């Protein structure tokens, strides 16, 4: 496929950039129209690449783009999953270029979605185009691109259930994850689940003058901080009763296998510019993100946050809290456990409200499958090294649902790298990964 890429590169950039320019931010209601535009553009790209059929299919939220090419009922069917929605670009002031005006420099594509997941799903469309145009396609291929992954795919499971028949396939192929490093290709064989909540601590019914009331009335920011401070114990464990009840403890053998993945603590700390790491006692960094659950405060706000010194004892304080879950923790159960616990620790001088947001279960993928083997062979050929099986710390909530509803395993051929800083300012995607990904996907079809 190398030659085909060389000949069509400029067109690939133009096509991908037409997707990246659309601010399809699912977290913000004001982008509804952008979601539709992005979905329509994707359907056009699928048709141009050689699909028999592609449509923008309504769901109870943002539309799903569905496309297919049917070759022969005797052949295997590959269902490609991806998402066209992106994370909000904030904080905007930290971007070196416009997040929605992609550019190429330093060997990478820069912009929101360059990697996650527009850049990665685009590789699938182009590998497919290559196979169609060169007459090499020996599979039936189906595409399902959703617009709500970044908000936890609240409506895709229902859409999948409603479209179960036409989604029938042998494997669900996904590129929405990272490799361990540029030099070490890896295939994710597990992802963490997610529980996400928003909490609100309400003190007095209005913002107060901190001189007139300070010292006499509970400050909701202070109370929220005190509550958050109790959410981890001294060993770095999440201090919510029942949180670990269903956590699967890995065997020594399994932990040994994971420990084979290369990891350099010094480089890790340098990359992040931190003096020390922090996490659950008794586990390595890769274990802490791969096989252990955790709790993070993703956002906090309250009181006066503008320029200068406003003296106020505010009425409210807020935080967004996410928990990454491992098998067999159930997102729904953990969300309920947290909500109950957080309300129970509220002191009497404040009111606490808890809003349940997105969630999804984690999952594991067997590395003994034909699909895994084909992917390993394909990537081994492109990279010159056998890929390592790894456990991803992130979540693609809906893939556990795909597993349950369609009865097929996902296969995670991700080509992102940590340096791509997805979800952060200056998201990028290395061109060499972009092209190696296309080649690996084309070879996957060859060996599967």
Within residues 9-68, the interface with a copy of itself by CB under 8 A covers 26-29
Is there binding between residue 205 and a copy of itself (CB under 8 A)? yes
Cα 299 from Cα 239, distance rounded (Å): 19
Is 357 one of the binding residues for a copy of itself (CB under 8 A)? yes
CB of 162 or CB of 277, closer to a copy of itself: 277
Q: Which is nearer to a copy of itself, 163 or 426 (CB)?
A: 426
**Distance of alpha carbon 82 from alpha carbon 252, whole angstroms:** 34
Token pair 């997102």 is at which residue? 331
Q: Name which position in 2, 70, 105, 349 contacts a copy of itself (CB under 8 A).
A: 349
Nearer to a copy of itself, 95 or 128 (CB): 95
Residues 139-158 that bind a copy of itself (CB under 8 A): 150-152
Determine which residue in the list 73, 135, 215, 384 makes contact with a copy of itself, applying CB under 8 A. Answer: 215
Triad 371, 377, 380: Cα angle to 5°:
135
In 3D space, the residue among 438, 442, 445, 439 whose CA is nearest the CA of residue 120 turns out to be 438
Q: Which of 58, 214, 262, 282 binds a copy of itself (CB under 8 A)?
A: 214
CB of 84 to a copy of itself, least distance (A): 16
**Count of all residues that appear for the chain in the document:** 448
Nearest to 77 by CA among 137, 140, 131: 140
| Near a copy of itself in 63-122, by CB under 8 A | 87-88, 90-91, 94
Q: Which is nearer to a copy of itself, 98 or 226 (by Cβ)?
A: 226
Residues 168-187 within binding reach of a copy of itself (CB under 8 A): 178
> Taking CB under 8 A as the rule, does residue 367 contact a copy of itself?
no
301 binds a copy of itself, rule: CB under 8 A: yes
Q: How far is the CB of 363 from a copy of itself (least distance, A)?
A: 14
Question: How far apart, in whole angstroms, are the C-alpha atoms of residue 200 and residue 203?
Answer: 10
CA–CA separation, 282 vs 288, rounded Å?
9
We find the least distance from the C-beta atom of residue 210 to a copy of itself, in angstroms, to be: 5
Measured at the CA of 94, the angle between CA 89 and CA 96, to 5 degrees, comes to: 95
For residues 202 and 235, what is the distance between their CA atoms, to the nearest angstrom?
Answer: 30
CA distance 291 to 324: 10
Query: Least distance to a copy of itself from the beta carbon of 171, Å?
Result: 23
CB-nearer residue toward a copy of itself: 135 or 215: 215
With CB under 8 A as the contact rule, the residue among 165, 252, 348, 368 that binds a copy of itself is 348
Of 111, 147, 190, 203, the residue at the interface with a copy of itself (CB under 8 A) is: 203
Q: How far is the CB of 183 from a copy of itself (least distance, A)?
A: 18
CA–CA dist 422, 117 (Å, integer): 9
Which of the stretches 32-40, 118-126, 168-176, 214-222 binds a copy of itself when contact is defined by CB under 8 A?
Answer: 214-222
Q: Which of 166, 347, 385, 407 binds a copy of itself (CB under 8 A)?
A: 347
Question: Are 370 and 378 a contacting pair, CB within 8 Å?
Answer: no
Cis, peptide link before residue 405, omega less than 30° from 0: no
| Cis peptide preceding 125, ω within 30 of 0 | no
Q: Of the candidates 43, 131, 169, 194, which one interacts with a copy of itself according to CB under 8 A?
A: 194
Site for a copy of itself in 251-270 (CB under 8 A): none
- Find the binder of a copy of itself among 217, 247, 257, 354 (CB under 8 A): 217
Which residues neighbour 56 within 8 Å (Cβ) at sequence distance 6 or greater? Answer: 36, 39, 40, 43, 63, 64, 65
Exactly one of 394, 410, 414, 437 binds a copy of itself (CB under 8 A); that residue is 394
Joined tokens for residue 309:
């010194």
Report, in Å, the least distance between residue 216 CB and a copy of itself. 4
**Residue 92 and residue 110: Cα distance in Å, rounded?**
14
Q: Are 182 and 387 in contact, with CB atoms under 8 Å apart?
A: no
Per the structure block, which two tokens stand in for 203?
Answer: 């003190």
Q: CB of 286: closest distance to a copy of itself in angstroms?
A: 8
The nearest distance, CB 320 to a copy of itself, in angstroms, is: 6
CB of 187 to a copy of itself, least distance (A): 16
Burial string for 305-336 (b: 16+ CB within 10 Å, else e) reads: eeeeeeebbbbbbbbbbbbbbbbebbbebbbe
Q: What single DSSP character describes residue 115?
A: S
Identify residues 404-433 at the interface with a copy of itself (CB under 8 A).
418, 421-425
């Amino acid at each position: 496929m190398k030659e085909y890429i060389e000949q069509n590169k400029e067109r690939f950039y133009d096509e991908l950039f037409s997707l990246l320019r659309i601010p399809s931010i699912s977290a913000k209601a004001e982008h509804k129209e952008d979601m539709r535009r992005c979905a329509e553009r994707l359907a056009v790209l699928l048709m141009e690449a050689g699909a028999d059929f592609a449509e923008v299919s309504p769901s109870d939220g943002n539309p799903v783009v569905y496309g297919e090419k049917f070759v022969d009922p005797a052949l295997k069917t590959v269902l490609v999953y991806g998402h066209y929605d992106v994370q909000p670009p904030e904080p905007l002031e930290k971007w070196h270029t416009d997040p929605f005006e992609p550019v190429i420099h330093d060997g990478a594509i820069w912009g929101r979605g360059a990697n996650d997941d527009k850049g990665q799903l685009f590789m699938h469309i182009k590998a497919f185009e290559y196979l169609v145009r060169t007459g090499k396609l020996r599979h039936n291929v189906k595409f399902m691109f959703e617009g709500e992954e970044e908000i936890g795919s609240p409506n895709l499971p229902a859409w999948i259930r409603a479209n179960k028949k036409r989604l029938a396939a042998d494997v669900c192929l996904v590129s929405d994850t990272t490799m361990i490093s540029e030099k070490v290709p890896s295939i994710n064989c597990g992802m963490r689940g997610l529980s996400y909540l928003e909490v609100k601590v309400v003190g007095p019914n209005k913002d107060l003058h901190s001189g007139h009331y300070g010292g006499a009335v509970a400050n909701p920011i202070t109370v929220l901080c005190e509550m958050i401070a109790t959410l981890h114990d001294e060993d770095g464990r999440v201090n919510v009763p029942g949180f670990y009840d269903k956590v699967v403890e890995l065997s020594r053998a399994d932990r040994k296998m994971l420990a084979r993945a290369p990891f350099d603590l010094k480089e890790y700390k340098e990359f992040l510019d931190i003096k020390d790491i922090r996490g659950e006692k008794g586990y390595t960094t890769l274990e802490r993100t791969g096989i252990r659950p955790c709790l993070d405060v993703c956002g906090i706000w309250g009181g006066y946050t503008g320029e200068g010194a406003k003296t106020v004892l505010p009425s409210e304080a807020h935080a967004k809290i996410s928990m990454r879950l491992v098998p067999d923790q159930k997102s729904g159960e953990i969300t309920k456990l947290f909500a109950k616990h957080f309300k129970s620790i509220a002191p009497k001088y404040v009111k606490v409200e808890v809003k349940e947001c997105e969630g999804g279960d984690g999952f594991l993928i067997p590395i003994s499958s034909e699909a895994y083997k084909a992917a390993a062979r394909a990537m081994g050929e492109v990279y010159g090294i056998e890929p390592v099986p790894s456990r991803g710390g992130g979540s693609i909530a809906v893939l556990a649902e795909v597993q349950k509803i369609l009865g097929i395993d996902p296969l995670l051929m991700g080509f992102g790298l940590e340096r791509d800083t997805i979800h952060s300012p200056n998201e990028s995607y290395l061109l060499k990964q972009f092209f190696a990904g296309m080649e690996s996907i084309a070879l996957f079809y060859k060996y599967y």
